[in-house]
Structures are given as C-alpha cells and as structure tokens.
C-alpha cells in the first residue's frame, strides 16, 4: 500500500459548505442521495475529487442535470467542473447488513448505525472525506416505522412525518459546520433514559441514552447519565466550555470496533462503556464508563468545535481529550490513585510501542492506514505531553492558554502547532525546544545521581538523558523534561518543598544547600515527565521512600522499583543487590499497618508489577522465568503475611453493598487480600475463594473470586465457572468476562482452555468485544501467549488470518504483540517471526494488517 506523508499536505481544492443527505434505510439495502454544494477553493483548474470506498454511483447530477462527465479513479469519483460553485447530486446504494468491517453504515442487532472516523463516510457516499472540509448537514431519514421507530442524526430534529406503506420520516439539521468523520445516524427500535441539563448560561439541553428494549439495558444507563451530567458541568467550570445544541443523544451498540465515537450531538458507544449495574459491572467498569462518557463529551470542544486539519494532527484532539478525561476522573475520585492507574496504562501499552518496530511520534510523519494510528502513543503519550505543558504553564497560565486556543480556532481545522502556539502566547512560555515531543519518538532514558558533600553540606543532583533510536529516527536531541523533585531528610521524613527542575540538555547539574546528611531523592514525583528513570538508589533508600514519601506516586514507584529489580534479577540470573524476602515482607507489613492510607491506595501500593512490565525491563525477555519469579514472590508474601492478609480480609468484609469511594476501596483491598491468601496457599484457599464467590452481591467480588478459582486445579473451579455461565449466558458483556478471566488465568492448562473457548458456541469473530475478550486476554497472558511451543502465537495468527477479510481494523490490532519478537529469546523470536510471515503471505491481506506486519518484520 502507498505511504501518505505529513509534508505533502495541501489545502482542499474544493470546499463543501452545505450537504443534504437523504436515506431510504433498510438492513439489506439503503439508498443514499447526497446533494452537496461545492465551491472552488483558490485559483486552480483541478477537478472535484470525491472519495469513495466500494461505491458505484447510480446517478450523478451537476446543477440538476444528469452528467456522464465523470470517472472513477481508485474508488474516487472525479468530476471536471467549469464554474466556481456547483451543486452535485449523487445516488448510491449500500448493503448495511453485509458490512462486517463496521465502518460506514452497518447493522448491529437489527439496528442501523454509523462509524465514520477516520474514513468511513466514503463508504456511505462519495465525498471529500478529509477533516479540513467542514459542512453544514441536513439529513432526511426514511424507514419502516415498526422496525425503525427511532431515527437519529446529528444536531436538532426539525421535522417528523408519517409516510405511506408504514414508513416514516425524520429530518435533522446540524447548525455547526463539521467534517464528514463526525457525521452519524442511528435507526432502530430503541428506548431512552431521558434527563436534562441546564448550561451555565441557562440553556436547557435534552439528554437521552438509547438502548435496546426488553433487555434490561435501560436500567443499566443511570451511571452513564450521571457521568454525562458531571462532565457537562466540569467542562464549564474547568475550561469555561458550554454545550451548544438543544439535544445530546448517546446510543449504545453491541458491535463496535473501538470504545466510542464523539459524533456531533449523537455519540455512539460500544455498549460496554454505557451499561452498568452492580450485578453485572465491576467497580473498574464503572470507572471506565465515567471516563469514556467524559472523553466523548469533552470532544465536543476538543475535537468538534476545533477539529484536526489532517489525520497527522490526531493527537491534537486525542491527546488533549485524554488529558481532559484523566483530569475529570481525578476530580471525581481519588486523584493519586487515578494518576497511578494512568501511568500503569502508559507503561503497559505505550512504552513497549515506543520501544518497538511500530514506534512513531505523537504527531506521525507518515502512514499507510490511518486506523493503525489510534495508538497509545497518539492518545496516552499525547496526553502526557499536554500534561507537561500544563505543569510548565501552571493552573492559571494553562487556563489562559486553552481559552486562547478555543477562541482562536473555534470552527476551524487546526494543527498541533496551533495548540503549541496558543500555549506559548496564552501562558507566556517558550516551547521551541519542547516541540521535540511532537517530532521524536522513543521514551527518554533518564539517569539521576545524587552526591552528598559533608564538608560543604550540599547535595548535587546530576541528571542526564538520551532518547533511543526508533525506526527512521536516530541521533536524537535532548527533550524538555519537567521533573518534580524533593530531597527528603532520612531522619525526619520531611523535605523543604517540592521543586520543578526543568531539564533541557543532555546533562545538567543542580546543587542544593543545607544537607548535613545525604537525603533520599524523590524524583519525577507524580510522574511529571513520561520517561524511564533510574536513580541508582540502594535498597534501604528505596524502602525508606516506599514507607515515607509524601508523594503517593513516588511512594508507589519506590516499591515497584524494589520489586521489579528483584524479579528482573531472579529472572535473568544476575547478581545485582536486591531486596530480600524478609525486608520485602517487612515493607509490605508496614504498608498493611499504615492506618493513614486509603484502602484503594494501599491496594495500589501492594499490587505487584505485571509480568509484562517486569519482562520489558530485561535485556532479553524470558516470560517463563518472570512468571516463576513473580508467582514465587506472591506465594512468599501471601504465606509470610498470612495473618495480616487474613485480618484485612475480615476487617474489610462489607455489611451491605455501597458504591462510595470507601466501599469501593475496601472491595479492592479485600480482593487483593484474597488473591494473596490464595497465592500463599493459606488454609483452604479454594474454599475461601469459593465462599467469596458465593457470598458476592456484586460483580467486582464475583469476578475477583472467579479469577482466583480459574487459576486452580480444583473441582470448585468448574463448579463456579458453570454457575457464572448459567447465570449470565444471555448478557454478552458479562459473558465477555467469562471468556477473559479463563484466558488470563495462571492455570497450567490455560492454552488448552483458550483453544476450547475459541470453539465454544458463544464465541464469534463477528463481535469485536468477544474477539478481544478471548484473544486480547491471550495476548495479555505471557504464560499462554509466550508458551515455548509457539501454540499461543499460532492461535493468535490463525485468528488474525480468519478475521482480516471480515474486519481488518480489529484484526490489525492484534499484530503488535507478535511484532515484539526482537525482545525475546531466539527460540520465541523465531516462532513469532514465522507467524508474522505466515500472515504476510496471505492473499488479499488488508491494508491495515499489511502495514502492521510489514513494519513488524522490519
């Protein structure tokens, strides 16, 4: 496939100020009539190019007269036009129920819905389908009234009418010019949870969340509605941004390639990010729903009112919007816990990406298929880059700068550079060097060394950085790194205040006065810069920080580092000096006994780093040895601290169900205690887990217990799995959990279990959630995926080959785990490569999967 370059950007030859769309909707066949007003943009003689993907025009009119003066070129419709303004009318016919790619107009459970970002609109009609062409849309929908009683599109409903033959019509008008990727429509038999919101200037907004009737889903929309209203208020208070239409609709659909979509006034969601009640959703699910509802709502300003000039600018809306949803969730719950979770996600998904064959800057320079660039780098590292600018600007400066950005670019398609300029002008910053964050890929590697001079009573901090080579980029420049730092007195546990050290050069030195004794270094507090940092501090210092650091993130980090260094040393057989069992158990015991800690934070501190994270820290990843070392550590901590875990387990037993922060923290910590008791084989572990499962009155407890049981060779395992299946077999989202937790288990036969689940009657490649529930879990379970036999790799590749012709976008998402082959021992690397090659050799492989495979093979 051809490569598209950022440097080749040219403004559109033709603009489309107005669009009128007519749809005769049906599952098998939908007739689309597009009336578009086009105007020549500048002085040129270029024809009008309307992108199309798999479309045949049935009729083309120019200014009302039938025209044959057009041709198709790579799917696009090319029309030479003589004047500067014309009206083009095009009729196309599409088959929604054959649309397995879930891009464009498709069917899901007899409902019709759309997904247009990034390039799905061209599967509906011929159009200049690029984000810098902004149009006002009028949409007339006609459909059978009984099967499609609800007809929704962007903007406001302007007309409803009954038609002949049991059909009806709805007309929607969106007054805000928008790019085609934000177009949406939904038609189906739906019911709504309705509410309303009064904006800061007193405007009333009708809110509705639409779901399928008769499924129990309507009763599961309350949490999403609360999240929506909280988001609307928060964006007014924190960013001064008000909603701008009289209605806001959300529709939940079961078949969806990603999480959700921010279409103007009509958000369409994967049902997993809408539906929740305590019986079917975990506390983590509730949090994810709150975050995604907020994310899509925030796009109304960061994405829709100000959109992207081209897809290379994707992080302009995504990085900023992730930062906004992270800040919102931090305000709604515990900010320190939220920060740790966000960093966990960044390290699990983005750091490996940045260190592998698919590494790219947050503003990529080229792509073959843009769908492959909705990545952890663009989203999560993009959010970290915004966060660093917010740190450098300070609260007031950042608000001034975002106000300026929204004012300057409202109604425009902007660039990342526009955002940075607004930051400079609004907050009075010079971001010349900082811009490298948009240009250079790779995670900066930072070393910090603290030297103490007892004569001068000074502490000198030497910090150096380097940015590793990534595909197509070498010899990189140093980055701007804002590092929040404190020097902690070991005797008192106090420090004289946190400082923001801003590193800009390859190496810099900072000297601090007034230290009789060497302090402990607390650096990159709050994870203020997205880097890997080694401070070379000894075990005693790290243990001190793990007990006493007043920055929750730094405290967490110190303990993670102690544990990670120990596990890496065991797995690689190194002789490095690492924490021993007794000392590690003592640190854990002290944290268990620290009564100032919130339970959620205690659980966060005491959760071991994942096998994948530990593996990533090794020169050559040995998944089996990491698994052994980590399991042994869990067992040691479980057994050595059996009494303490037991005490917490009993003390945190609920007296009834509640959803407040304290109750949720207690559930989390109690679940962790259970996991350690099971790992330590304390008493009748299976019995305890099974009792937890049986007593559960909510999904969080039920899932925690079942996940433990799923890893055991015990008759209670099958009993509990069967009970869970029988209870929830009609709830697809809960059944996804049943697939996932078996595939994620520590059971010795996990690979056979996964193979059997792939043949289970409830497994289907047609539903992306189900595919992810099984194969995402396979790729996320190192013992299964990296089994020395290569069977895990083979199963994943078999699935990709089967899925690619049906749903290329979702298939391509499973290539990166195989693309990590260079990081593993020779045996595994060879097996992984062989699977990539097998995929590459498939005839007719999609552009999506081809790009990922070719780049992964390197």
| Alpha carbon distance 311, 130 (integer Å) | 8
- Among ligand B3K, Zn ion, none, residue 701 binds (CB under 5-8 Å by kind): none
Q: Smaller CB distance to ligand B3K: residue 444 or 776?
A: 776
Q: Smaller CB distance to ligand B3K: residue 609 or 776?
A: 776
Select from 262, 283, 290, 557 the one that contacts ligand B3K (CB under 6 A): 262
Q: Smaller CB distance to ligand B3K: residue 117 or 171?
A: 117
> What six digits make up the tokens of 582?
């007794």
- Least distance in angstroms from the C-beta of 231 to ligand B3K: 13
- Least distance in angstroms from the C-beta of 10 to ligand B3K: 24
Please give the residues from 266 up to 295 whose contact with ligand B3K meets the rule CB under 6 A: 295
Query: What is the number of other CB atoms lying within 10 angstroms of the CB of residue 49?
Result: 17
The verdict on 318 binding ligand B3K (CB under 6 A) reads yes
Q: Which stretch binds ligand B3K (CB under 6 A): 52-60, 260-268, 472-480, 837-845?
A: 260-268
| Alpha carbon distance 850, 841 (integer Å) | 10
By the 8 A CB rule, do 264 and 174 touch?
Answer: yes
The verdict on 808 binding ligand B3K (CB under 6 A) reads no
Q: Smaller CB distance to ligand B3K: residue 386 or 578?
A: 386
- Among ligand B3K, Zn ion, none, residue 664 binds (CB under 5-8 Å by kind): none
- Least distance in angstroms from the C-beta of 379 to Zn ion: 7
Select from 296, 354, 701, 736 the one that contacts ligand B3K (CB under 6 A): 296
- Among ligand B3K, Zn ion, none, residue 592 binds (CB under 5-8 Å by kind): none
DSSP E strands, 645-696: none
The verdict on 129 binding ligand B3K (CB under 6 A) reads no
| DSSP line for 195-229 | EEEE-TTS-EEEEEEEE-TTSS-GGG-HHHHHHHH
| Alpha carbon distance 515, 521 (integer Å) | 12
Residue 461, classed as helix, strand or coil, is strand
Residue 515, classed as helix, strand or coil, is coil
Catalytic residue among 51, 296, 353, 369: 296
By the 8 A CB rule, do 29 and 94 touch?
Answer: yes
- Least distance in angstroms from the C-beta of 331 to ligand B3K: 20
The answer to whether the bond into 132 is cis (omega within 30° of 0) is no
Closest CB to ligand B3K: residue number: 117
Residue 12, classed as helix, strand or coil, is coil
* Residue the block writes with tokens 């804002």: 482
The verdict on 311 binding ligand B3K (CB under 6 A) reads no
- Least distance in angstroms from the C-beta of 119 to ligand B3K: 9
Dihedral angle computed from the Cα positions of residues 256, 259, 262 and 267, in that order, rounded to the nearest 10 degrees: 60
Give Cα 677 to chain centroid, integer Å.
32
- Least distance in angstroms from the C-beta of 267 to ligand B3K: 9
Q: Smaller CB distance to ligand B3K: residue 170 or 314?
A: 314
The overall longest dimension of the chain from CA atoms, in Å, is 95
Q: Which stretch binds ligand B3K (CB under 6 A): 28-36, 259-267, 500-508, 671-679?
A: 259-267
Q: How does strand 71-73 pair with strand 76-79?
A: antiparallel
Q: Smaller CB distance to ligand B3K: residue 260 or 488?
A: 260
- Least distance in angstroms from the C-beta of 317 to ligand B3K: 7
Q: Smaller CB distance to ligand B3K: residue 364 or 482?
A: 364
Closest by CA position to 609, among listed 641, 549, 568: 568
Residue 367, classed as helix, strand or coil, is strand
Residues 6+ apart with CB under 8 A from 643: none
- Least distance in angstroms from the C-beta of 129 to ligand B3K: 13
- Least distance in angstroms from the C-beta of 261 to ligand B3K: 5
Give Cα 98 to chain centroid, integer Å.
28
The verdict on 119 binding ligand B3K (CB under 6 A) reads no
- Among Zn ion, ligand B3K, none, residue 150 binds (CB under 5-8 Å by kind): none
Please give the residues from 307 up to 336 whose contact with Zn ion meets the rule CB under 5 A: 318, 321
Q: Smaller CB distance to Zn ion: residue 327 or 849?
A: 327
- Least distance in angstroms from the C-beta of 176 to Zn ion: 18
Would the CA dihedral through 93, 94, 97, 98 be positive or negative?
Answer: positive
Residue 431, classed as helix, strand or coil, is coil
- Among Zn ion, ligand B3K, none, residue 804 binds (CB under 5-8 Å by kind): none
By the 8 A CB rule, do 806 and 765 touch?
Answer: yes
- Among Zn ion, ligand B3K, none, residue 117 binds (CB under 5-8 Å by kind): ligand B3K
By the 8 A CB rule, do 153 and 114 touch?
Answer: no
Q: Smaller CB distance to Zn ion: residue 321 or 773?
A: 321
Residues 559-588 vs ligand B3K: string with x where CB under 6 A? ------------------------------
The verdict on 374 binding ligand B3K (CB under 6 A) reads yes
Q: Smaller CB distance to ligand B3K: residue 92 or 371?
A: 371
Residue 296 appears among annotated catalytic residues: yes
Give how far Cα 733 sits from Cα of 116, 253, 270, 585, 740, Å. 24, 12, 10, 38, 11
Residue 506, classed as helix, strand or coil, is coil
- Among ligand B3K, Zn ion, none, residue 258 binds (CB under 5-8 Å by kind): ligand B3K
| Alpha carbon distance 497, 486 (integer Å) | 6
- Among Zn ion, ligand B3K, none, residue 261 binds (CB under 5-8 Å by kind): ligand B3K
Residue 268, classed as helix, strand or coil, is strand
| Alpha carbon distance 822, 553 (integer Å) | 31
Q: Smaller CB distance to ligand B3K: residue 262 or 701?
A: 262
The verdict on 118 binding ligand B3K (CB under 6 A) reads yes
Q: Smaller CB distance to ligand B3K: residue 309 or 400?
A: 309
The verdict on 255 binding ligand B3K (CB under 6 A) reads no
Select from 125, 280, 371, 731 the one that contacts ligand B3K (CB under 6 A): 371
Closest by CA position to 590, among listed 623, 554, 631, 549: 549
The verdict on 339 binding ligand B3K (CB under 6 A) reads no
> What six digits make up the tokens of 364?
């990529």
Residue 71, CB-side half-sphere exposure with 13 Å CA sphere: 4
- Least distance in angstroms from the C-beta of 274 to ligand B3K: 14
- Among Zn ion, ligand B3K, none, residue 374 binds (CB under 5-8 Å by kind): ligand B3K
Q: How many residues bind ligand B3K (CB under 6 A)?
A: 12
Residues 6+ apart with CB under 8 A from 612: 348, 352, 780, 782
Residues 6+ apart with CB under 8 A from 780: 612, 744
The verdict on 32 binding ligand B3K (CB under 6 A) reads no
> What six digits make up the tokens of 809?
């976008």
| DSSP line for 747-803 | -TTHHHHHHHHHTSTT--TT-HHHHIIIIIHHHH-HHHHT-TTSHHHHHHHHHHHHH
Q: Smaller CB distance to ligand B3K: residue 378 or 488?
A: 378
Q: How many residues bind Zn ion (CB under 5 A)?
A: 2
Select from 51, 53, 117, 599 the one that contacts ligand B3K (CB under 6 A): 117
- Among ligand B3K, Zn ion, none, residue 371 binds (CB under 5-8 Å by kind): ligand B3K
- Least distance in angstroms from the C-beta of 714 to ligand B3K: 42
By the 8 A CB rule, do 839 and 800 touch?
Answer: yes
Q: Which residues here bind ligand B3K, judged by CB under 6 A? A: 117-118, 258, 260-262, 295-296, 299, 318, 371, 374
Q: Which residues here bind Zn ion, judged by CB under 5 A? A: 318, 321
Residues that are catalytic: 296
């Amino acid at each position: 496939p051809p490569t598209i370059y950022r440097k080749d950007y040219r403004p559109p030859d033709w603009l489309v100020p107005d669009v009128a769309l007519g749809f005769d909707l049906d599952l098998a066949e939908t007739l689309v009539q597009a009336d578009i007003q086009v105007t020549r943009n500048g002085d040129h003689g270029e024809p009008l190019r309307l992108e199309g993907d798999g479309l045949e025009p049935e009729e083309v009119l120019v200014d009302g007269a039938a025209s044959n003066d057009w041709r198709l070129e790579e799917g696009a419709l090319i029309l030479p036009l003589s004047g500067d303004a014309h009206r083009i009318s095009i009729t196309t016919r599409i088959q929604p129920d054959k649309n397995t790619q879930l891009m464009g107009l498709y069917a899901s459970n007899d409902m019709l819905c759309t997904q247009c970002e990034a390039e799905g609109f061209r599967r509906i009609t011929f159009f200049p389908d690029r984000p810098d062409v902004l149009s006002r849309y009028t949409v007339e929908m006609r459909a059978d009234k009984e099967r499609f009683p609800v007809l929704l599109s962007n903007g406001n409903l302007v007309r409803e009418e009954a038609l002949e033959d049991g059909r009806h019509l709805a007309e929607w008008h969106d007054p805000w010019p928008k790019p085609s990727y934000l177009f949406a429509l939904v038609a189906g038999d739906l019911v709504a949870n309705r509410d309303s919101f009064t904006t800061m200037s007193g405007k009333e907004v009708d809110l509705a969340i639409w779901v399928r009737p008769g499924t129990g889903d309507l009763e599961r929309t309350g949490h999403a509605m609360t999240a929506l209203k909280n988001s609307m208020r928060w964006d007014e208070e924190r960013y001064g941004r008000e909603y701008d239409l009289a209605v806001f609709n959300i529709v939940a659909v079961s078949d969806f390639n990603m999480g959700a979509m921010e279409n103007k006034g009509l958000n369409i969601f994967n049902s997993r990010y809408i539906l929740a009640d305590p019986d079917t959703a975990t506390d983590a699910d509730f949090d994810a729903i709150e975050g995604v509802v907020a994310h899509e709502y925030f796009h109304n300003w960061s994405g829709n009112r100000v959109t992207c000039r081209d897809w290379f600018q994707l992080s302009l809306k995504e990085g900023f919007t992730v930062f906004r949803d992270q800040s919102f969730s931090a305000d709604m719950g515990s900010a320190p816990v939220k920060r740790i979770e966000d960093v966990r996600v960044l390290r699990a998904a983005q750091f490996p990406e940045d260190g592998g064959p698919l590494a790219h800057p947050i503003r990529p320079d080229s792509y073959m298929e843009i769908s492959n660039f909705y990545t952890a780098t663009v989203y999560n590292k993009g959010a970290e880059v915004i966060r660093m600018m917010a740190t450098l600007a300070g609260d007031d400066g950042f608000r001034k700068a975002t106000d300026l950005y929204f004012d300057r670019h409202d109604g425009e398609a902007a660039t990342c550079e526009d955002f940075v300029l607004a930051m400079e002008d609004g907050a009075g910053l010079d971001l010349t060097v900082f811009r490298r964050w948009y240009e250079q890929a790779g995670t900066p590697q930072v070393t910090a060394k603290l030297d103490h001079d007892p004569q001068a009573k000074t502490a000198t901090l030497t910090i150096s950085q380097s940015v590793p080579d990534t595909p197509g980029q070498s010899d990189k420049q140093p980055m701007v790194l804002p590092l929040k730092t404190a020097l902690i007195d070991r005797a008192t546990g106090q420090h004289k205040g946190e400082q923001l050290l801003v590193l800009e050069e390859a190496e810099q030195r900072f000297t601090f006065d007034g230290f009789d004794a060497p302090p402990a270094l607390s650096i990159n507090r709050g994870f203020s810069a997205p880097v890997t940092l080694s401070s070379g501090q000894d075990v005693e210092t790290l243990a001190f920080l793990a007990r006493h650091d007043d920055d929750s993130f730094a405290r967490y980090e110190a303990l993670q580092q102690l544990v990670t260094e120990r596990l890496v040393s065991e797995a690689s057989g190194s002789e490095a000096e690492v924490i021993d069992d007794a000392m590690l158990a003592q640190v854990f015991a002290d944290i268990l006994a620290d009564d100032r800690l919130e339970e959620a934070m205690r659980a966060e501190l005491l959760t071991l780093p994942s096998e994948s994270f530990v593996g990533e820290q090794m020169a050559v990843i040995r998944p089996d040895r990491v698994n052994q070392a980590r399991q042994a550590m869990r067992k040691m901590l479980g057994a050595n601290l059996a009494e303490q875990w037991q005490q917490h387990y009993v003390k945190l037993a609920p007296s009834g169900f509640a959803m407040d922060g304290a109750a949720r923290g207690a559930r989390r910590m109690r679940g962790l205690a259970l996991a350690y008791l099971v790992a330590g084989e304390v008493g009748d572990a299976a019995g305890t887990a099974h009792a937890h499962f049986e007593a559960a009155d909510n999904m969080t407890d039920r899932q925690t217990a079942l996940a433990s049981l799923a890893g055991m060779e015990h008759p209670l395992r099958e009993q509990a799995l069967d009970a869970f299946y029988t209870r929830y077999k009609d709830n697809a989202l809960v059944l996804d959990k049943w697939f996932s937790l078996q595939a994620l288990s520590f059971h010795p036969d996990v690979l056979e279990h996964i193979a059997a689940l792939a043949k289970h009657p409830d497994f289907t490649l047609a539903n992306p959630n189900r595919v992810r529930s099984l194969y995402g879990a396979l790729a996320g379970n190192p013992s299964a995926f990296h089994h020395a036999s290569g069977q895990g790799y083979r199963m994943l590749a078999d699935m990709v080959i089967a899925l690619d012709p049906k749903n290329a976008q979702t298939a391509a998402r499973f290539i990166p785990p195989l693309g990590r082959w260079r990081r593993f021992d020779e045996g595994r690397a060879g097996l992984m490569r062989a699977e990539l090659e097998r995929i590459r050799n498939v005839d007719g492989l999609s552009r999506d999967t081809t790009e990922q495979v070719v780049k992964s093979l390197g």
